[in-house]
Structure 1
Amino acid sequence: MRFLGKGKSNTELVRLLKEGDMMAFDAIYDTYCHKLHQFVLTYLKQEEDAEEIVQEVFIKIWKSRDKINIYSSFESFLFTIAYNATMSLLRKRVSESKSREYLRSIQQVNTAEPVISEIQFKELEHKVQSLLEQLTPRQKEIYNLSREEGLTHHEIAIKLGISESTVNNHLVAIIKFFKSHIDSSLAVNVLFLCLFFS
């Protein structure tokens, strides 16, 4: 049996995950994040889409952790969720030709002085708070330490007893998740990045 984390087996980590252990979640995330990304990327061919799917998979794993059967293949369970999410996104993308145009337009923006109404600002603020509630406890913890307390990746890693790469992976995943659920208008997206991820 393969051993992950600090001397714990895959089965033991899954058992701890079912109990809400965030260190076990981090160990599983570090083990499967890259593999899932490569798996999804073979179908989607787009980095942005693959990263979004991986983020959604781990959110689903955390939310449904109490339903995981530790005596079944966790890897099979994980990749089945990823495959189903990938097929769902592919069906959605068939009728969304505007997505690539939007990504290109974002890359062409050099300055950010968005014109946005107070109503849009309030809606954006409410949306971000709502999305924060959908993150795993570990992701919310890292987000708050980084954005609210202003700690560096190194300081967060020391405080939580995890690696800097884990901190970075979580923050990248959070940004991807947020961006995929924020209003598609350029002004709102730029304001979002300036306010919450500057």
Structure 2
Amino acid sequence: MKTNKSNTELILRLSQDDKVAFYNLYERYSKRLYSFVFRFIKQELDTEEIVQEVFVKIWEKRRNIDAYSSFESYLFTVAYNSTISLFRKRLSEKKYFEHIASLQEVNKAPNLIDEIQFNDLINQVNNLLAELTPRQREIYSLSRESGLSYQDIAKKLNISASTVKKHMANTLSFLKSNLNSSLMTNILFIYLFF
């Protein structure tokens, strides 16, 4: 009961933009929230992102949170909804890639033009990869060629997983923005590198 009262006080202070109150709520609930989300997702990086996203939403909606209702219920509902959103996004991505794969099965017999376009794409990608920093090339190679997870790459290179993720996002953005923009090239690029 004392926690509810102190939660009420913290929410009232939070609604007045009190960052210390926000930090206290974060300290009080972040580990429990992490455990809750991890039970569903089973991936550290995604779990960390959802926990951060939940607290960002709490900060953004700080003036609308009812201080006299159960903050804990509200917090875990936001976390649950964010988890469901991630599942929906992943399901949508999976369906998209299955669709691309089925299109490729239909057109299994490659013709000379497709082969030339494919080789051209590979050459473009290799040329662009040569323009990356040595660290970006190494991370890209470990991820896409060796199949390591961001977490494994981070351990191997003694850097954080978020640094690996940032390097990969920058690399993929660079590749996308510098490849030819024909429809076939984009479809092949998406299929090969995502």
TM-score for both structures, normalised by structure 1: 0.51
Q: 1:36: which partner in 2?
A: 33
- The structure-2 alpha-carbon separation of the partners of 1:49 and 1:13, relative to structure 1 and needing over 3 Å to count, comes to same
Q: 1:2: which partner in 2?
A: 2
Q: What is the percentage of aligned positions where both structures have the same residue?
A: 47
Q: 2:71: which partner in 1?
A: 74
Distance 2:163 2:17 in 1: 22
Q: 2:169: which partner in 1?
A: 183
Question: What's the offset of the Cα at 1:49?
Answer: 0.6
Question: What's the offset of the Cα at 1:185?
Answer: 2.9
- The structure-2 alpha-carbon separation of the partners of 1:185 and 1:10, relative to structure 1 and needing over 3 Å to count, comes to same
Question: What's the offset of the Cα at 1:183?
Answer: 2.6
1:89 equivalent in alignment to 2:79: no
- Equivalenced residue count is 122
- The structure-2 alpha-carbon separation of the partners of 1:178 and 1:84, relative to structure 1 and needing over 3 Å to count, comes to farther
Question: What's the offset of the Cα at 1:27?
Answer: 0.4
Alignment of 1:1-198 (within 5 A): 1-3=1-3, 9-96=6-93, 104=148, 106=150, 107-108=152-153, 176=162, 179=165, 183=169, 185=171
Question: What's the offset of the Cα at 1:74?
Answer: 0.6
Distance 2:39 2:72 in 1: 18
Distance 1:105 1:41 in 2: 17
User: Equivalent residue of 1:9, what SS?
Assistant: helix
Question: What's the offset of the Cα at 1:94?
Answer: 2.4
User: In 2, are the aligned partners of 1:55 and 1:177 still within 8 Å (CA)?
Assistant: no
Deviation track 1:138-174 (CA, whole Å, cap 9, x = no partner) reads xxxxxxxxxxxxxxxxxxxxxxxxxxxxxxxxxx9xx
Question: What's the offset of the Cα at 1:184?
Answer: 5.9
CA RMSD of aligned residues (A): 3.7
Q: 1:123: which partner in 2?
A: none
Structure 1's unaligned 5+ residue stretches are 112-171, 189-198
Distance 1:104 1:3 in 2: 43
User: Equivalent residue of 2:169, what SS?
Assistant: coil
1 or 2, which has the higher helix percentage? 2
Runs of 4+ residues over 4 Å off in structure 1: 95-98, 108-111, 175-180
TM-score for both structures, normalised by structure 2: 0.52
Question: What's the offset of the Cα at 1:23?
Answer: 0.5
Question: What's the offset of the Cα at 1:96?
Answer: 4.2
